[in-house]
């Protein structure tokens, strides 16, 4: 079987790009568009429900922090009681005795423990304040009124 050359089509392309190239449009507000794109990339996941696993971890951490706070309160109260009892016992013991030294040591440990527990409570309170500040900032960024009109229309 012999095929005709008529089945084959020949095309010729000509490039007429001689001279100056076509003028391109100047990028209008390209930096503004980049910043808007970056901000939307960060903010949109907060609007959608893709942060579920992160919120679950946050809730677990919050629960752990609350538990730690309760434990430190109990430790602080126990240390204060031990300090008072040791002080009362030490008042009835003679100076310089081994038992008095042991009670004084216990009293000092109880005082340091109470101070450390109070310090932990203060740190937890400051962390919770910072967390509340960050949450309020994120919420103000994620409000529907702060989103561009185009995104509001898509919802």
**pLDDT per residue as tens digits for the range 41-81:** 776 666 665 566 767 777 888 888 889 889 999 999 999 99
Q: CA-CA distance, 32 to 35, in Å (whole number)?
A: 5
More confident: 57 or 13: 57
Q: CA-CA distance, 43 to 29, in Å (whole number)?
A: 21
Q: How far is CA 14 from CA 1, 19, 28, in A?
A: 35, 15, 34
Instruction: Rank 11-20, 71-80, 88-97, 125-134 by mean pLDDT and report only the highest.
Output: 71-80
- pLDDT mean over 131-145: 72
Q: In angstroms, what is the C-alpha Rg of the chain?
A: 36
Would the pTM count as exceeding 0.85?
A: no
pLDDT in tens, 111-129: 999 999 999 889 888 888 8
Residue 85 has pLDDT above 80, yes or no: yes
């Amino acid at each position: 079987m012999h095929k005709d050359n008529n089945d084959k089509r020949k095309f010729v392309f000509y490039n007429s790009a001689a001279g100056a190239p076509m003028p391109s449009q100047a990028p209008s507000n390209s930096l503004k568009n980049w910043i808007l794109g970056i901000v939307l990339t960060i903010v949109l996941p907060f609007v959608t429900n893709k942060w579920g696993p992160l919120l679950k971890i946050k809730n677990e951490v919050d629960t752990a922090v609350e538990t730690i706070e309760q434990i430190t309160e109990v430790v602080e109260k126990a240390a204060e009681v031990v300090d008072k009892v040791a002080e009362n016992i030490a008042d009835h013991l003679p100076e310089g005795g081994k038992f008095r030294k042991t009670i004084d040591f216990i009293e000092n440990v109880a005082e340091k423990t109470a101070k450390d527990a109070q310090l932990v409570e203060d740190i937890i309170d400051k962390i919770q304040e910072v967390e509340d500040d960050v949450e309020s900032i994120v919420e103000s960024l994620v409000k529907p009124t702060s989103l561009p009109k185009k995104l509001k229309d898509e919802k």
